[in-house]
Amino acid sequence: MYFSNIRRYAIVSALALTAIATLVPAHAQQRAICYNCPPEWADWGSQLKAINKRLGIEVPSDNKNSGQAIAAMIAEKASPVADVVYLGGIAADPARDAGVLATYKPKGWEKIPADLKDPEGHWFSIHSGTLGLFINTAALGKRPVPQSWSDLLKPEYKGMVGYLDPTSAAVGQLGVMAVNLALGGSYENLDPGINFFKALAKNQPIVPKQTSYARVISGEIPILLDYDFNAYRGQYTDKAPARFVIPKEGTLVFPYVMGLVKGGPNADNGRKILDFVLSDESQAMWGNAYLRPVFAERLSAEAKARFLPDSEYARAKPVNLKKLAAAQAKIVERYKNEVR
């Protein structure tokens, strides 16, 4: 079972969940539903506009996280609402195993590295991000910018550190594992990571369930365990006092994936969207939004120049999705029982 709250979502009436469908006009073939495509995350807002402009397909924004998206698709199996879904890489195989994804190999699929796609075509990576510290330097006041995971435990940062809830959000689970590996743990031994979050609990962290970009920009959450692309967006696009730090102990690089929902009502439009997100145009857009496109050559020199130097990224290692997925249930269980 993917997330601990799936049972709760699964008992929600399919009729209630399909309320979105009542908004679809008669020309439904020019509409598609993407679960977990929030406009404030990874610049999905620009992508949705491009999909509408290039393909003539309207895709409403959706603010679910990975766990909520899978729970909804399971609840809706008899009458699917979504056509495509965007998920953190840790959710890819669990979604496939839950039987909510159809197979589709979009244009360019053969160029995707083997470890970044399902061999049968249930899911494939479109881009990746590096986990670290997304910091509003103005909100720190006179406090120094933290440079390590261990810095976050200092009393001076009490009430200032945030991370997404590991019981439901992929980035929250990745955060536990990134810290765990950086502090000497393994995919099998979670003790260092769990002990860190137990210690952090004494510092009164902020633990939202949804993406919290705006809360960092406003200064409500001065320090958030989050991705480089959000921090660079804040710094360069929104001109906020934002900064990204790769902790000195190390961190992880995490892919994000997409797939076609099994039995989706607008499957043809869903396939067109999946073709588009691997197109040269879309991949360049992801790069311009400070994500690492799965086709690395689409990251422009201008965009790359805004990233931290490669010497800093040397501390960021690719996550092992299979091992992370195998550890997922234990991460959720131990976090619930020992931290929350």
Domain containing residue 228 = 129-253+309-339
d(C-alpha 33, C-alpha 57), whole Å: 10
For 232-265, give the DSSP string. HIIIIIS--SEEEE--TT-EEEEEEEEEEETT-T
Confidence band for 210, pLDDT divided at 50, 70 and 90: confident
Q: Kindly state the average pLDDT of the residues 161-168.
A: 94
Going by C-beta distance under 8 Å and a sequence separation of 6 or more, which residues neighbour residue 61?
Answer: 37, 38, 39, 44, 45, 48
List strand residue ranges (DSSP E) for the chain, in order. Answer: 34-35, 84-88, 101-102, 124-136, 161-162, 223-227, 242-245, 251-261, 292-293, 316-318
pLDDT over 90, % of the chain: 84
d(C-alpha 306, C-alpha 225), whole Å: 20
- Residues 98 and 28 grouped into a single domain: yes
- Window from 8-22, 69-83, 122-136, 239-253 with minimum mean pLDDT: 8-22
Parallel/antiparallel/unpaired status of strands 316-318 and 161-162: unpaired
Parallel/antiparallel/unpaired status of strands 292-293 and 242-245: unpaired
Exposure string of 286-302, with b = 16+ CB inside 10 Å and e = fewer, is bbbbbbbbbbeebbeee
Torsion of CA 112, 118, 124, 127, to 10 degrees: -70
d(C-alpha 5, C-alpha 272), whole Å: 32
Q: Is residue 57 part of a domain?
A: yes
- Residues 210 and 318 grouped into a single domain: yes
28: left (phi over 0), alpha (psi -120 to 50) or beta: alpha
Going by C-beta distance under 8 Å and a sequence separation of 6 or more, which residues neighbour residue 238?
Answer: 217
- Residues 84 and 192 grouped into a single domain: no
- Window from 75-79, 207-211, 238-242 with minimum mean pLDDT: 207-211
d(C-alpha 265, C-alpha 325), whole Å: 29
- Residues 120 and 171 grouped into a single domain: no
Q: What is the CATH number of the domain that holds 313?
A: 3.40.190.10
- Residues 122 and 16 grouped into a single domain: yes
Six-digit token string for 329: 């249930």
- Residues 16 and 48 grouped into a single domain: yes
Q: What is the DSSP letter of 1?
A: -
- Residues 314 and 194 grouped into a single domain: yes
- Residues 210 and 323 grouped into a single domain: yes
Taking alpha carbons only, the member of 241, 274, 224 closest to residue 139 is 241
Six-digit token string for 25: 């006009």
The reported pLDDT for the residue numbered 65 is 86
Q: What is the DSSP letter of 141?
A: T
Question: Which amino acid type is present at position 240?
Answer: A
d(C-alpha 290, C-alpha 232), whole Å: 7
Q: Is residue 1 part of a domain?
A: no
Q: Is residue 182 part of a domain?
A: yes
pLDDT over threshold 80, residue 75: yes
- Residues 235 and 136 grouped into a single domain: yes
Q: Is residue 190 part of a domain?
A: yes
- Residues 136 and 166 grouped into a single domain: yes
Q: What is the pTM of this model?
A: 0.83
Q: What is the pLDDT of residues 281-334, one digit of tens each?
A: 999 999 999 999 999 999 999 999 999 999 999 999 999 998 999 999 999 999
Higher-confidence residue of 101 and 90: namely 101
Q: Kindly state the average pLDDT of the residues 249-267.
A: 97
The reported pLDDT for the residue numbered 10 is 43
Q: What is the DSSP letter of 37?
A: B
Give the three-state DSSP class for 229: helix
Q: Kindly state the average pLDDT of the residues 15-21.
A: 41
Within 13 Å of residue 144, how many CA atoms lie on the same side as its CB? 7
- Residues 194 and 326 grouped into a single domain: yes
In the chain, how many domains are there?
Answer: 2
